[in-house]
Structure 1
Amino acid sequence: MRFGDRVACVALGLCATQASANLLDELGVELVYDDNLTRAQLARDIKGDLALAVSGEAGPRFQLTDYDSLSVKASVTGTKYRHYEGLDNLNAGLALTYRRKFGLGPYVPQFALTGSATRLEYDSRLRDGWLYAAEAEASKRVSDRLALHAFVRSERRESDHTPERVVPFIRANVFDLGSRSVGIGADFACAPRYLVSVGYTWHRGDIVSTTQRNLPIFLASSAIAADPVFGNNTFAYTMRARTGVASIGVSREIGRQATFGIGYEYRNSRADGGIDYNGSLFRATYLYGF
């Protein structure tokens, strides 16, 4: 099924869900520009593109006690890229979250555990597969304007297809990945309708870089496969790396149920073998809650 057909099915499904019993909790539309989709180091290999994503999520929440709750969320996201059609994707996920409040009132600390599984479907078969994640988060509202949070997260991505090996003694399943992350953040209500969010995340684990033939990256790679999404004679390389991501965003309430926000992310990755890259991501997001 092509991307357009998938999006049509998702749209019909979301509309049917909303009409049946108001089960759709949130609908989002996001415009994203990533100036280094390839996660590349050399100027010749750096590719940027604009993408439009439409998402929806729904699911019940169960109040177990005065302090404990359990929620189940199903989500669907469709993303369309302007130039690199092989990156067009439709993802469907399911997440289970247990949340504990250590007391009553808005200023008590909270702790949450989340496990999720997401099905990844791309127009490029190389990227099809599953993403599994587990996350623990602690949060606390310090005042009526300021809230803080911190988290640890572990991810495992498993690909469906193993392409032909480019090099006989190096594996080709480049999208079999694992990583761990630690992050901190803060949300500040600077005005009645405006919220400023800042955060920083440290990643340690696998990354995938797509470039033309590159000896330093080749020597630092644990997997290599042909990746024609970004042109002829381009290859995807899996490497271990340390990545830092700094983010800032501003959102504004629109009416009683919607918000609009803009955000910026800067990332820096340093891989084994002296390989490093930088990249920036800009986003504009509209969210509507039901």
Structure 2
Amino acid sequence: MRLIPPLLTLAAAALAAAASAHELRLGASLTYAENFSRTSYAPTAQDATLADLDAAFLHAQQLAANWTLLAALEASAENVGRFSALNRLGLGARTTLRHKFGLGPRVPVLEAGAALTAVHFRERGRRGWREEGFASLSQRLTDSWRVAATASWESFTAAHAPFDTHARRIGLETFYDATETWQFGAGASRLHGQLVANAAWSVYGQALGGGFGPAIQDYYSRIPWEVSDTFGSGWVAYRVDCRADFWWAQVAARLSDSTSLPLRYESVRVVNRVGVRYDSAFWSLGVLHRF
């Protein structure tokens, strides 16, 4: 009988070890961004080529039969080619609570969590902290087809007011495994809140001077803005209150159990409070690997 407590302790330790897991995820991507400057006047829009590196160390802990806690440390780096003021580094932490409503692969899965990231841009005014809250409800409808509804909230506290933004976003996405190698995905979402836009002074000066009408003049005079020179001499960065619609599609090749190669297209349409529109598009090719 004296052996029972030590045996129970060993069994509990074994179960705890079996119920937890560690994973390292690495990713790299190359993106061509149309109107990366998020400019309303198309002739002055600035395109860019982006190179990204991402890493995350993930710990998963089984809390109960249908509950899992995920904790991650994340790091990222982005190079924006000739617009070097936007080169950035990020370091943060993320935690997610996952609940499965039953057993098997086709039960609904609910995830909710939060993240905090320190973001260091080369341009001082853009530096700050990003706070995120997020949730998703996903369902595998067949062995090959999965759908999910998503919601998120984000607040970026920046050094300068034009880059200090708050937004909420809801969306739908779906994924289809056509074969063991090829997966297709698509999704759409809508954002309400604030984003950062940019304009050449030749355009923004007209807005401030009433060249586009009194409504535009009144709005652009009141929102936070500053001359940043980010996209050229005299360029202005400013914060807009807006609605933004996103849609994306991607195809991914599974090279192995641990490595995939996604090709993605994303379109973004932003309309601010006074009806001014900003359209952007992003083409990216990446590689993801899990250890």
TM-score bracket relative to the smaller structure: 0.7 to 0.9
CA drift of 1:255 comes to 1.9
**Structure 1 residue 219: Cα displacement:** 3.5
Equivalent position of 2:229 in the other structure: 228
Deviation at 1:211, TM superposition (A): 0.4
Give the letter aligned to residue 53 of structure 1.
D
Structure 2 residue runs without a partner (length 5+): 1-20
**1:188 alignment partner, one of 172, 176, 184:** 176
Report the Cα distance in structure 1 between the residues aligned to 2:79 and 2:280, rounded to whole angstroms: 20
Residues 219 and 40 of structure 1: CA distance in aligned 2, closer, same or farther (over 3 Å): farther
Per the normalisation by structure 1, the TM-score is: 0.86
Aligned to 1:211: 199
Match of 1:132 in 2: 131
Q: Are the aligned partners of 2:37 and 2:46 in contact in 1 as well (CA < 8 Å)? A: yes
CA radius of gyration, larger in: 2
* Offset of residue 274 of structure 1: 1.8
The answer on whether the counterparts of 1:38 and 1:45 sit within 8 Å (CA) in structure 2 is no
Give 2:111's aligned amino acid: A
Equivalent-residue separation in structure 1 for 2:75 and 2:24 (angstroms): 12
- Confirm or deny that 1:112 pairs with 2:100: no
The AA in structure 1 aligned to 2:52 is A
In the aligned structure 2, how far is the partner of 1:219 from the partner of 1:67? 54
Whole-Å separation in 1 of the counterparts to 2:125 and 2:63: 42
Secondary structure at the residue paired with 2:263? strand
- Give distance in 2, aligned partners of 1:53 and 1:218: 37
AA partner of residue 182 (structure 1): I
Map of 2:269 onto structure 1: 268
Q: CA deviation at 1:256?
A: 2.2
**Cα deviations across residues 158-184 of structure 1 (Å, max 9, x unaligned)?**
01x23xxxxxxxxxx111100010000
Amino acid of the residue matched to residue 183 of structure 1? G
Separation in 1, partners of 2:196, 2:28: 27
Describe the SS at the equivalent of 1:64: strand
Equivalent residue number for residue 143 of structure 1: 142
Q: Which residue of 1 aligns with 2:164?
A: 176
The aligned runs of 1:30-49 (5 Å cut-off) are: 30-49=29-48
Corresponding position of 1:201 = 189
State the Cα distance separating 1:259 from its structure 2 match. Answer: 0.3
Among the aligned pairs, what percent are the same residue?
21
Report how far residue 45 of structure 1 moved: 2.7
Q: How many angstroms apart in 2 are the aligned matches of 1:262 and 1:157?
A: 28
Secondary structure, in 3 states, of the residue corresponding to 1:220? helix
Aligned letter for 2:78?
A: T
Unaligned runs of 5+ in 1: 1-21, 163-172
Match of 1:84 in 2: 83
> Which stretches of structure 1, 4 residues or more, deviate above 2 A after TM superposition?
216-221
| Native 8 Å contact 1:201 1:244 kept in 2 | yes
Amino acid aligned to 2:268: R
- What is the root-mean-square deviation in Å for CA atoms of aligned residues? 1.4
**Distance of 1:142 and 1:59 partners within structure 2:** 27
Contact 2:191 2:245 (8 Å CA) reproduced: yes
Per the normalisation by structure 2, the TM-score is 0.86
* Residue of structure 2 in register with 1:73 after alignment: 72
